[in-house]
Structure 1
Amino acid sequence: MSSIEVSLVASNYQTKSDTDHATLRPQRLPPPPPSLQSQLPTPPIDQTTMPLESETSPTSVQTSIKPIDNMNKNQLFLLSEFKRLFDNFDYEIVREEILNRKMIECNFTTVLWRIFLLCLSRDANQWNDMLDTCRNNYEKLVDQYKIDPYKISDNNNKDISNLNHPLSRDENSLWSQYFSDEELKATITTDVRRTCPDISFFRNPRMIDLQLRILFTHSRHHHKTTPYRQGMHEILGIVVYAIHLESLKVNECQESNELMKKLYDSQYLEHDAYEIFEKIIDHLRQFYSLSTKHSSIRKSIISNGIKQIPFQRNDVHIPPNDTVTRMNSIFERLRHYDHSLHGKLEELNIEPTVYG
């Protein structure tokens, strides 16, 4: 064979072997031809004019609208609830709903407190004048029982009898009253600082001073009937906190009327809390007053045929407290309603004041 023939045979053999070898492997599909759009030059991206994804995303638009819609609905519901309750207030219907536990969640609980405690009348048309009167009266009480020691010193020079001298032991001396007031304030402050220590609201110095003024003013104004007793601060704390929480909702509500705003004016939180607290303590007076009208009782008088109060000590004279008397009365009733339970409590010497 010539060199040309040899090269042709070799090339045919190589082509055949390559073809046979290629058939053994699966071949990838060729990529599609580039589109016309991809062949065009890509313009540079302007970051300043490029809209953010959150601005154009329909999901983000929905999420930004929903909270606003919900807030508007809540505000409208708040206003409609206020009108439903108080535009034509029906005392008996509302009272029945409360007793049947249909108003467990109410946005105007403290307003209902004021109505049922007779702080407000059942006619909402009279509330504006009543609020003004009560708030002014509280401010007068605060001023009435405020003693300025600097003014006492100034007036002392004009006092010929030296009644208001700092060293005077006269009970009618202003200095004597001032020192007595300071002792009372110290006692109240100690209790107020213990009120719900796990809630930051009660640790606020402004709230501590607010409760101190209310309790001090009430104690001075009612010193003959219901002076300050430990435990009163807990009742006041609930009242102040409840008004505060409700006022936050109302003051954030744009859909509110003038009466709503006036009822929950944060400037008069202290005034309104005092009014409610005063009415509550008036109802609880018998539990805080120390009665001295009753004679002392001994267990030894059982032999004389006089009925003995359960668990009464026989070694000392103890003037019975009205609360203890009521608790023992409940214990006596229990004898008739559940004799076995009454006997068990008596056997274990569990006093009525523990569960009463």
Structure 2
Amino acid sequence: MKSIEEARRKYAQLRDYDTPSKLRAALKSEQGATLCSDGLRSICWKAFLLFNNLDRAQWPRRISESRSAYSALRYHFLKYIEHPDDLQSTVDPLADDEEALRSDELMRADIAQDVDRCLQENFFFREPATKTKMVDILFIFCKLNPDLGYRQGMHELLAPILWVVDRDAVDAKSESDADHDLLLQLLDPAYVEHDAFALLCPVMQTARIYYEHREQPSASGQLDTIPIVSRCQHIHNDLLVAADPELGAYLQALEILPQIFLT
């Protein structure tokens, strides 16, 4: 967790840019790596994915609305998960709730199985609190997207988002003045989970196509190829072979599936 003084120094590097296009151009330039590593990556992500602008006067309202929305979703979808005794199983009208709770518990078990294996070489991802955040975020996302549900690999998209938001958080005990209230609000450690969820949602708008696939045979009687597998096959069979024929032939001779080393 950063001190407010460290965050202030890093945030100063972003104040030279007043439009997303200018910031995007800077990030793509030679100074981009330094701007992200020495700056505040999570604020850049929020500017692009959550705020869609660099008008800092609007940021407090937007971040407050986003966090309030997640708090409401969290209460709605986790109230019986966190407080199962509130579900009166003896009352017939709640029979549907009981069935839904069992289904939710199965989904959370599937998510937890992947989360338990996620980046275990990093202590942060071995912490129970981190695992709980990841399971809750992915569970709520899946409840909002029942047509998609949970797919293996979604946790790998969430992991770096949660890591960056958590690393950028500012020590809540740090002293500041009114000029830095925005910085403290954007990097409030109490809302790491909320902000990670808010960033995951727009990422999944683009990435969800790789998780969408029909499990039923198509009209031809064959199962559709999963989009992410199709993309991996294209990289392996076409792009890699064109760029490095020797390596491509070697991997094909070993019969290593492209989705194993490309995902």
Shift of 1:200: 2.9
Match of 1:326 among 221, 224, 231: 231
The aligned counterpart of 1:237 is 159
SS at match of 1:130: helix
Q: Which residue of 2 aligns with 1:181?
A: 104
1-structure distance, mates of 2:189, 2:248? 53
2: distance between equivalents of 1:350 and 1:211? 30
Q: Deviations over 1:85-108 (max 9, x none)?
A: 247523223212222241322331
Q: In 2, Cα distance between the equivalents of 1:184 and 1:335?
A: 37
Structure 1, residues 300-337: CA drift from partner, whole Å, max 9, x if none? xxxxxxxxxxxxxxxxx332212233334445653995
Q: Which whole-Å deviations, capped at 9, do the CAs of 1:107-162 have from their partners, x for residues lacking one?
A: 310111122224453211100110111111101111221353444327x54xxxx3
| Alpha-carbon distance change, 240 to 294 in structure 1, aligned in 2, over 3 angstroms | same
Quote the Cα distance in structure 2 between the aligned partners of 1:285 and 1:80. Answer: 36
Q: Is the 8 A contact 1:251 1:261 kept in 2?
A: no
Q: Which amino acid aligns with 1:102?
A: Q
Report the alpha carbon displacement of residue 191 of structure 1 after superposing the two structures with TM: 2.3
Secondary structure class of the residue paired with 2:58: helix
Q: Does the 8 A contact of 2:210 with 2:227 survive in 1?
A: yes
Bigger relative contact order, structure 1 or 2, given CA contacts below 8 A and separation 6+? 2
**What does residue 150 of structure 2 align with?**
228
Q: Distance in 1 between matches of 2:32 and 2:173?
A: 22
Matched AA of 2:32:
M
Q: Structure 1 125/177 Cα, relative in aligned 2: closer, same or farther at 3 Å?
A: same
Q: Identify which of 72, 87, 90 aligns with 1:152.
A: 87
Task: Name whichever of 202-211 and 250-259 sits farther off.
Answer: 250-259
* Structure 2 residue aligned with 1:270: 193
- Higher-Rg structure is 1
Change over 3 Å in CA distance of 1:150–1:231 after alignment to 2: same
The amino acid across from 1:124 in the alignment is: R
SS of 1:271's equivalent in the other structure is: helix
Is there any run of 5+ residues in structure 1 with no aligned partner, and where? 1-71, 166-172, 299-316
Query: Which residue does the alignment assign to 1:281?
Result: 204
Cα deviations by residue, 1:169-223 (Å, 9 ceiling, x for unpaired): xxxx111100011111222223222223233333333222222211111111112
Q: Does 1:107 align with 2:39?
A: yes
Q: Take 1:342 and 1:280, find their aligned partners in 2: how far apart are those partners?
A: 32
Q: Secondary structure at the match of 2:133?
A: helix
- Gaps of at least 5 residues in structure 2 are none
Aligned residues: 252
Distance (whole Å) between structure 1 residues aligned to residue 172 and residue 11 of structure 2: 10
- The structure where helix makes up a greater share of residues is 2
Go from structure 1 to structure 2 and tell me whether the alpha carbon gap of 1:216 and 1:341 turns closer, same or farther (over 3 Å shift): same
Q: Against the structure 1 CA distance between its residues 295 and 134, is the aligned structure 2 distance closer, same or farther, given a 3 Å change threshold?
A: same
Letter aligned with residue 152 of structure 1: L
1:130-145 alignment, distance < 5 Å: 130-145=62-77
- Report the TM-score when normalising by structure 1: 0.60
Change (3 A) 1:146 1:251: same
Residue deviations 1:217-241 (CA, integer Å, cap 9, x gap): 111111213x222222232222222
Q: Of 186, 194, 204, which residue of structure 1 is paired with 2:117?
A: 194
